[in-house]
Structure 1
Amino acid sequence: METRARLARALTNPVLFLRGCNRQFHRRLGLRPHNPDGIAVFEADWDALVVLDACRYDVFERRSDLPGRLERRRSRGSTTVEFLRANVAGRDLTDTVYVTANPQLSQHRESIRPDFHEVVDVWREDGWDDDHGTVLPETVTTYAKRAAEEHPNKRLVVHYMQPHYPFVGSGTTFDEGHLDGAGDGENVWNRLLTGRLDVDREEIWRLYAENLDRALPHVESLVESLDGRTVVTADHGNMVGERSFPIPFREWGHPRGVYTDELVEVPWLVHESGPRRTVTHGAPDSQDNEADDADGSGEADESVVAERLRDLGYAE
């Protein structure tokens, strides 16, 4: 049903049809479930992996002064879900605690079937900022430091939401209503793509870069608090009006299954400090910080996930 709906939308909007054609090229007509040139992040050598959602390599290189050795890597996906499926699904990750501001793992839990020791969903009620419609980076840092103390013998993955939309504290008016559902139901990137939002490209660039700036001091605080080898990276990048490939229309956001440089080139900053962690596997936490409704059906939780994803611009 979802595939039919996407096809119907594409047929009524030429640029969405062109995006679909590019996706078919990059995925080789569906033969590639993800970017085959991407790094398998859990096979890399690190004690803590800090993930900046939708952070391009070139923007990170210009804006970040985090301590460490910066390298360039290619991601396995152009969306968070692709990144998770390509790196998490089918792996024994009971040596790892995943602290995340992004609800996508919860939304796609049945298909990804994560096997982490523990998942800390910061985006649930106590970590969510209603005023901004996201999880603020300082909140993620607080949860991550706590997890590092509570699990000294586990690898740690910390997934920040920024620089992913929404643009925190930007004061923009073009996306008014995205928090209360008063808008047209489309995220900012799709409105730019289809020409229903006319905002100068340089303004979008500024907002995107400043959203990264908003997170970096809190990422630095976390990195400097951790012993061992910490890597700062991203799950994928973001396009800001560059020409896509092979059909060269202007692309916005981070469409699934499209592996242009802007979408899959990500930072890989390695920071070394103090002794390495002695990492052990352990039985997964059975609760996984899952919050169900009173009768145990999970319907209330699904509603929260859908609301959070909409606020983060995932609703299409």
Structure 2
Amino acid sequence: MVSKVNQLYNHLRAGQRYNPEGIDVFAEDWDNLIILDACRYDEFEQRSMLPGRTESRISRGSTSPEFIRGNFTEKTLHDVVYISANGWYAKLKDDIRTDVHAFEFVERDAMGGLTSRPETVAAAARDAAEKYPEKRLLVHFMQPHQPYLGPTGERFEFSTGMQDTIRQTDASYRDVIQAYRENLELVLAEVEPLLNDLVGKTVVTADHGELLNDREQPIPIRTYGHPEGVYDEHLVNVPWHIYENGDRKKIVAEQPSMGTDEVDFEQVEQNLRDLGYRA
């Protein structure tokens, strides 16, 4: 209940359904944008060994749907190819009146279809980079967002939403932070070789961060996860890691070659519910 009050306060202060103080990612300078889901800036800075330099930016959301609304709404992005293991673009596309040149929803091949392995997303990104050399490439991994795929996470009893998973597993703070860090290391291990395979200027960022027993604002309750409308530092301050590899791409906008028509929307909505979202 207290978290709902924090959400309402922040939405009323913002005056809209996303964080207006965040950046428009499509107005930034990049050829390839790699998104890590629920990746905190501090954890990325401490654990990343990626080549390049790390800065930070403010995200337009503390959740994926806020990030999608805040960056995609009423935009024609025919110079963008979007490879994603996150279902929110497919879910919201028609409501927010947006379009990209091509969209691919990556196979969910881990934990009984709950999530996508980072190597599967990386492989799809390489295929798209080869197929669409003149497009900005947007690649959305699901990690370090739960479910956790590392050795600590294997002991977790996954439930809908992070709070329920922690309660059901009887996990300690140390268990949660270790499982989160293992997930982050798994995805970074796939991102590093991907950087060398992508031509041009690549940025690694996050759609939002994660609360790991941190306090919400303005009412300072401790919690886990990423509640909507709570624009706390740990939720909206995200990494912005820059790596340049060879010449810049020559970007060309063209009419869409495919849309999200091939996506199983019932499956997308069920998956979002399984992850704890109200789809």
Using structure 2 for the length normalisation, give the TM-score.
0.93
**Is residue 2 of structure 2 the alignment partner of residue 18 of structure 1?**
yes
**Where in structure 2 are the equivalents of 1:139-178 lying within 5 Å?**
139-170=120-151, 171-176=153-158, 178=159
Using the alignment, how far apart are the partners of 2:249 and 2:77 within structure 1? 16
Which aligned pairs between 1:23-38 and structure 2 lie closer than 5 A?
23-28=7-12, 31-38=15-22
Among candidates 264, 267, 273, match of residue 304 of structure 1: 267
Counterpart residue type for residue 86 of structure 2: N
Cα offset, 1:33, TM superposition? 2.4
SS in 2 for 1:50: strand
State the match for 1:272 in structure 2: 244
Q: Relative to 1, partners in 2 of residues 1:224 and 1:268: Cα closer, same or farther, differing over 3 Å?
A: same
Corresponding residue SS for 2:182:
helix
Equivalent position amino acid for 2:248 in 1: R
The answer for the alignment partner of 1:249 in structure 2 is: 221
For the pair 1:60 / 2:48, whether they are aligned, the reply is no
* Deviation of 1:30 (Å): 6.5
Q: Secondary structure at the match of 1:108?
A: helix
SS at the partner of 2:49? coil
Instruction: Check the 8 A contact 1:103/1:305 in 2, yes or no.
Output: yes
2:181 aligns with one of 206, 209, 215? 209
- TM-aligned CA deviation for residue 190 of structure 1: 4.6
1:290 aligns with 2:261: yes
Taking only the aligned residue pairs, the percentage that are identical comes to: 42
**For the Cα contact (< 8 Å) 1:153–1:279, is it kept in 2?**
yes
Q: Cα 1:135–1:174, aligned 2, differ >3 Å: closer, same or farther?
A: closer
Q: Output the CA distance in 1 between the equivalents of 2:93 and 2:207.
A: 17
Give the partner amino acid of 1:291. Answer: E
5 Å matches for 1:82-93? 82-93=66-77
Alignment RMSD: 2.0
Distance 1:233 1:29 in 2: 26
Check 1:312–1:24 CA distance in 2 against 1; reply closer, same or farther (3 A cut). closer
8 Å Cα contact 2:150/2:186 also seen in 1: no
The superposition leaves residues 5-62 of structure 1 with CA deviations (integer Å, 9 ceiling, x where unpaired) of xxxxxxxxxxxx2111111221225623211211110000000000000000000001
**Which structure's residues are more often strand, by fraction?**
2
Structure 1 segment 188-203 matched on structure 2, within 5 A: 188-190=162-164, 192=166, 198-203=170-175
Equivalent-residue separation in structure 2 for 1:56 and 1:49 (angstroms): 17
Could you tell me which runs of 5 or more consecutive residues in structure 2 were left unpaired when the two chains were aligned. Answer: none
- One-letter amino acid of the counterpart of residue 236, structure 2: V
- Distance in 1, matches of 2:13 and 2:189, equals 42
- CA-CA distance at 1:275 after TM superposition: 0.4
In the superposition, relative to structure 1, how do residues 305 and 38 fare at CA in structure 2: closer, same or farther (>3 Å)?
Answer: same
Asked if structure 2 preserves the Cα contact closer than 8 Å seen for 1:190 and 1:252, the reply is no
Measure the CA separation in 2 of the matches of 1:255 and 1:151.
35
Q: Secondary structure at the match of 1:162?
A: strand
Task: Decide whether the 8 Å contact of 2:39 with 2:144 is kept in 1.
Answer: yes
Task: For 1:239 and 1:190, locate their aligned partners in 2 and report how far apart those are by CA, in whole Å.
Answer: 15
The aligned amino acid for 1:241 is N
Please, which of 262, 269, 280 is the counterpart of residue 234 of structure 2? Answer: 262
Larger Rg: 1
Residue identity in the other structure for 1:142: A
Mark the CA change 1:162 to 1:76 in structure 2 (over 3 Å): closer, same or farther: same
* Aligned residue-pair number: 278
Cα distance in 2 for residues equivalent to 1:103 and 1:132: 13
Which runs of 4 or more aligned residues in structure 1 lie more than 6 Å from their structure 2 counterparts after TM superposition?
A: none
Counterparts in 2 of 1:196 and 1:131: CA distance versus 1, 3 Å: closer
Q: Residue 96 of structure 1 contacts residue 116 of structure 1 at CA under 8 Å; is this kept in 2?
A: yes
C-alpha distance in 2, partners of 1:210/1:221? Answer: 18
Residue equivalent to 2:117: 136
| Superposition deviation, residue 306 in structure 1 | 2.6
